[in-house]
Structure 1
Amino acid sequence: MARVALVNLASLPMPGNEPIFPIGLRCVQDALDRAEHDTRLFDFVQDPAAAEDLSWVSEPWDAIGFTIRNIDPIDMACDGHVEHYVAFLDRVRAALGDAPAPLLIGGGPGYSLFADQLLPRLGFDVGVVGPGEQAMLDILKAPNRYRKAGRNITGRSYGGFMVNSLDHPRPLMETYTAFDGAMIGVETRRKTCYQGCVYCPYAYISGDNGGDLKPLELIGAELRTIHASGIHRVFFTDGIFNSELRFAKEVVQLIIDLALPGLTWSAYFTPKPFDDEFAALLAASKVEFVVISPDSLDDRVMRLLGKSFETRHVDKCLERCRQHGIPARVNVVFGGPGETRESVRNSAQYINSRLEQGELAMHLGYRVLPQTHMAQQLSIPDADLVSPTFYPFDPDLFGWVMEDLDSRFMSTRVLMNLMAARSSSRRMTRIPLPQDPAGAAPTEFPYLALSRQLPLV
């Protein structure tokens, strides 16, 4: 049996950081607890003092695991998080002093994307790329094999996902649901998303997982436990909830059958497949809202983004939602491959004519991530992507969006984000794009926006 500390680095206080419930770290902790290891989870939202007072570090741990969810915020106006992680790990090593050091282990989705770059900077003995439960169990069986190894290993499928219900400590849940709009995450499956969006690293992060679909009785047990604790908002963390429509319908029917008073839920959906039967089930289940991400509402740009659907499918999905009284959220990100004055106008016209106030979630700029088609198109080495790096876009993009979108979509918060992003883009380094005669990454604008020169504070 090993004594293990698990540290949620995503809960560190950092500019632009919006911590969410650490479901991934809880999955790892649950796996270790079931194997009779002695664990303690450190979350700095639940225990802010522990981020400053590191006396806990010098306790007799056999291993300390650190999870990184994101390496920078989604907003291009914000700086990256890496230097905050580096500073914290430096403080941890200082707190350890000359005493025998525990095994230091890194993991999480953000770490997985930049494992080769982060391992030496953060000084881990070993890092885990992909799913962490089984990898942590393997490491703890032979810890000396990994001590000062300075290498990353690939996570693998964890059988416990299919046989164990995941129940969270009530104090931790209450900490996160105290935030306005907070939800608790629940997994229904571990299966790589079938869509080929050029910006998405989901398949790389999730690894080879065999396409596990969690048994309905386990999902039901988790939902009942969450509800009994007084938490009534759930977000299914699957890449795409209805990627397999039959199973999605079974999960929604389960929610209906459970009839938990006041329970509401949401997830990421694709507008295809999305039939009338599914819409009727969603309405009966009291779904809070359906989130779809066409990312553009110009069919040409949608194809360049790798979407498996078109605006006509978005039309039909929204029509079904409205027929059944289901609230919808539509994510649009301006500034992707092939974005032009015309495509911005087309997306804005769609938004203005077909979306209601409150249905639009808008961002500007695509963060380029390793192991994605977007990174391959731009021929940028992974090491150059650690600092916040954005796909090239015309500097007039901000003006186009503000000119074309109806004022009802321009809340004070949206306007402030737009102005901050525009200010940030003016400070970014611009470098020439590689020549691509095949036109894999069509753009008229010969620069790549990098916020590498922004100060990290």
Structure 2
Amino acid sequence: MARVALVNLASLPMPGNDPIFPIGLRCVQDALDRAGHQTRLVDFVESPAALDDLSWAAEGWDVIGFTIRNIDPLDLACDGHVEHYQAFLDRIRHTVGAAAPLLVGGGPGYSLFADALLRRLGFDVGVVGPGEQSMLEIVADPDAHRGSGRNVDGKRYPDFLGNVLTHPRSLMSAYVDRQGQVEGTMIGVETRRKTCYQGCVYCPYAYISGQNQGDLKPVDLIAAELHTIHRSGIRRVFFTDGIFNSELKYAKEVVRTIIGQDLPGLTWSAYFTPKPFDDEFAALLRRSDVEFVVVSPDSLDDRMMKVLGKSFDTRHVTRFIERCQRHELGIRMNIVFGGPGESRESVRATARYVNANLATEELVMNLGYRVLPETALARQLSLADDDLLDPTFYPFDPDLFSWVIEELDTRFMSTRVLLNLMAARARAAG
């Protein structure tokens, strides 16, 4: 059996970084533990001292795995994260010296830029997509991968359908304490592993989802995980599916399961699509204490929505809003100005729709599309993956910022929103 350390690089203290609970890394650790391997998860929210004292890295591990969630900071005014990852990996190599364990890269952010990050960060091997099964194979024979300098595809993990995922209380408590209050802490839960059916031109979700069979987790496992989370004191859950209601029958089954549990104070959220979304589903959402329903039309101009690859238009969005209002559901609607072919007219159409139909807190707005590997945007611009590691935005009209300011109601223009828009414009221009 192997000795494996798993490091949550997403918990590094970096400008613009907001660590979230490492659900993906815990999935990998759980799989390794069940197979009899000896593991330690290193998270700098749980163990801040481990950031400066790297003695843990020299404890004779056979493998050290590193997960990368984000490449860019949430705050566009901050520099990217890659240099921080590189500096930390250099410190690890210096600590372990000649007796270096196998170094493995993985995680959603890594999967996006796997080839570039493999070279930049110097991993022996990397995993693109779900990591459990691939890590089980890697740790079974570390020497076979030492110095290989290649990435392997993540594989389907059959035990996703059979095991209840629980988390160490100390790790969960650390994220509760970081927020300073239980109510502010959110934890992710998977209900399915299935490639998103939508073809959004900016989204690499299908590329990083790896091999899958459209697995839907049995609802009794979901219920057991929710009870474990609730007992820990956490009251907010985010279902990490690409689109929660992509299969409405199963989505309803999950929501009925939530309703059927005795979990006082538990609220949840997820990414939704305006269709399929019927009144029965909206009523179930209301009964389940959903915190808010997050949708991403990205534009509310029908021509732009088609260009962006949406499978719905403003008619579906309008019906969705009406149903949410009828059932008193909170909405968060993501709009991103600056896609291919964005014009003054399309900005005006989106702004008019927003002004007429959304409350101030319901709009989440950004400027500019970050171009990611294996997406239609990258192909349109004929950009290689290596060229995209540094933030690259789809080019837009320099007057876009002014159009948005002029067309949207001032109630949407908080100081924070304006600063974020200005930072986005500066990054795209640079």
Q: Is the 8 A contact 2:46 2:174 kept in 1?
A: yes
Counterpart Cα distance in 2 of 1:226 and 1:285: 16
**1:72 aligned residue:** 72
Matched letter for residue 10 of structure 1: A
Aligned to 1:380: 383
- The CA distance in 2 between the partners of 1:200 and 1:176, in whole Å, is 29
> Is 2:428 aligned against 1:396?
no
Query: In the alignment, which residue of structure 2 is the partner of 1:32?
Result: 32
Say whether the 8 Å CA contact 2:17–2:74 is kept in structure 1: no
Q: Which moved more, 1:403-412 or 1:267-276?
A: 403-412
Q: Distance in 1 between matches of 2:265 and 2:74?
A: 31
2:52 aligns with 52
Paired residues of 1:199 and 1:366 also in contact (CA < 8 A): yes
Q: Determine the C-alpha separation between the residues in 2 that align with 1:412 and 1:74.
A: 17
Paired position in structure 1 for 2:129: 130
Letter in 2 for 1:3: R
Which digits, 9 at most, give the CA deviation of each residue in 1:309-363, with x for residues without a partner? 0011111111101101111110001111111111111111111110012000111
Q: Hey, what does 2:117 align to over in structure 1?
A: 118
Match of 1:169 in 2: 168
**1:244 aligned to 2:243?**
no
Q: CA deviation at 1:378?
A: 1.2
Aligned to 2:298: 295
Q: Residue 46 of structure 1 aligns to a residue in which SS? A: coil
Q: Under a length normalisation based on structure 1, what TM-score does the superposition of the two structures give?
A: 0.91
* Native 8 Å contact 2:335 2:363 kept in 1: yes
Q: Secondary structure of the equivalent of 2:360?
A: coil
Q: Give the structure 2 partner of residue 444 of structure 1.
A: none
Counterpart residue number, 1:20: 20
Between 281-290 and 76-85, the greater mean CA deviation after superposition? 76-85
Q: Which runs of 5+ in 1 are unaligned?
A: 429-457
> SS state of the match for residue 358, structure 1?
helix
Q: How much identity, in percent, do the aligned residues show?
A: 72
Q: Could you list the per-position Cα deviations for residues 21-46 of structure 1 after superposition, in whole angstroms to 9, with x for gaps in the alignment? A: 11100000000010111111111122
Q: Is the 8 A contact 1:75 1:363 kept in 2?
A: no
Structure 2: distance between partners of 1:245 and 1:55:
50
Q: Distance in 1 between matches of 2:217 and 2:275?
A: 22
Deviation at 1:120, TM superposition (A): 1.7
Whether the 8 Å CA contact 1:329–1:360 is kept in 2: the answer is yes
1:338 equivalent in structure 2:
341
Cα shift readout 1:188-228 (whole Å, capped 9, x = no counterpart) = 00000000001001011111211000001100000011111
Amino acid at match of 2:236: R
SS at structure 2 position matched to 1:326: coil
Question: Would the aligned equivalents of 2:7 and 2:42 in 1 still touch at CA under 8 Å?
Answer: yes
Q: Does the residue aligned with 1:7 lie in a helix, a strand or coil?
A: strand
Q: 1: distance between equivalents of 2:110 and 2:236?
A: 28
Aligned to 2:415: 412
Q: Which residue in 1 is equivalent to 2:313? A: 310
8 A Cα contact 2:185 2:234, kept in partner: no
Alignment of 1:164-203 (within 5 A): 164-178=163-177, 179=179, 181-203=184-206
Q: For 1:182 and 1:316, how far apart are their aligned partners in 2?
A: 32
Asked if the contact 1:333–1:366 (Cα under 8 Å) also holds between the matched residues in 2, the reply is yes
Deviation at 1:394, TM superposition (A): 1.0
Per-residue displacement from partner, 1:220-265 (whole Å, max 9, x unpaired)?
0000111111111100000000000000000000011113111110
CA distance in 1 between partners of 2:425 and 2:310 (Å) = 27
Structure 1 distance, partners of 2:162, 2:362, is 38
Name the residue aligned to 1:63. Answer: 63
Q: How many residue pairs get matched?
A: 426
Q: What is aligned with 1:148?
A: 147
Provide the C-alpha distance between the structure 2 equivalents of 1:52 and 1:402, rounded to a whole number of angstroms: 45
Change in CA separation of 1:85 and 1:151 when aligned onto 2, cut-off 3 Å: same
2:110 pairs with 1:107: no
TM-score, normalization by structure 2: 0.97
Q: 2: CA distance between counterparts of 1:61 and 1:334?
A: 47
AA aligned to 2:304 is: V
Quote how far apart the aligned CAs of 1:92 are.
0.5
Q: Is the 8 A contact 1:74 1:367 kept in 2?
A: no
Letter in 2 for 1:40: R
**3-state SS of the aligned residue for 1:238?**
coil
CA distance in 1, matches of 2:428, 2:156: 41
Aligned-partner SS, 1:184: strand
1:177–1:184: 8 Å Cα contact kept in structure 2?
no
Alpha-carbon deviation of 1:278? 0.3
CA distance in 1, matches of 2:360, 2:185: 21
CA distance in 2, matches of 1:314, 1:308: 11
Task: Name the SS of the counterpart of 1:246 in structure 2.
Answer: helix
- For residues 423 and 238 of structure 1, what CA distance do their matches in structure 2 show? 32
Q: Is the 8 A contact 2:339 2:369 kept in 1?
A: yes
Q: Which letter does structure 2 place at the counterpart of 1:54?
A: L
How far apart are 1:75 and its partner, in Å?
4.7
Q: Which amino acid aligns with 1:7?
A: V
Match of 2:331 in 1: 328
In 2: Cα distance, 1:425 partner to 1:326 partner: 35
In the alignment, is residue 231 of structure 1 matched against residue 234 of structure 2? yes
* 1:426-437 correspondence runs (5 A): 426=429, 428=430
Q: Which residue of 2 aligns with 1:95?
A: 95
Q: Is the 8 A contact 1:201 1:369 kept in 2?
A: yes
| Offset of residue 51 of structure 1 | 1.5
Instruction: Please report how far the alpha carbon of residue 423 of structure 1 lies from its aligned counterpart in structure 2 after TM superposition.
Output: 3.5
